[in-house]
Amino acid sequence: MSTGEQVLRILHFLSLFLMTAGLGAVMVPLWRGWREEDTASQLSAFEDATTGHKAALLPGTIGVGATGIFLAAEAGYNFFTTGWLLALEILYLLVLFICIPVLGHALNRVEIEVLKSRKKNEPTPELQELINDNVPIVMSLAILFLLPVMAWLAEFKPF
């Protein structure tokens, strides 16, 4: 194993750590915000979730993809004819281009409605509708359940 490959593996591991830490930094405040009744506590929780999304989850996910591409190229895999790698790429792109943007958009919408509710000193109907919608929780859980599948594909290379 060359030094370049070792550096890529370390960067890939650190990116994975940042991605999973970011997912935790989004999910924990989300659950807290959904349980709270006070709009100030909800705002704080959703701000924390938005910060976790922007500061850790998104950069970590991008880092995982970038380092993963270089690792696969260094190992000599074909990106289109290697079945497990193609499946991994598709799942990664699903997370990067669907789950994470929808999660970010939903978090921003909830945060805006919490601010409107705080200004009016009462929950708005739109906020209640967004809280009942649970899109951020669903997207977070989708990412959470796709991570072990992607790790399994990369580790065991089943096809």
For tokens 């895999």, what's the residue?
Answer: 77
Cα 152 to Cα 150: distance, rounded to the nearest angstrom? 5
Q: At what angle do helices 3-35 and 39-52 cross, to 10 degrees?
A: 170
Average of per-residue pLDDT across 43-62: 95
Cα 131 to Cα 35: distance, rounded to the nearest angstrom? 10
pTM for the structure as a whole: 0.91
Interval 105-158: pLDDT, tens? 999 998 898 888 888 888 889 988 888 888 999 999 999 999 999 999 999 999
What is the structure's pLDDT at 128? 82
Report H helices in 36-157: 39-52, 58-75, 83-94, 100-120, 125-133, 135-156
132 by Cβ neighbours in 10 Å (0-12 / 13-18 / 19+) ranks as: exposed
Assign 81 to helix, strand or coil.
Answer: coil
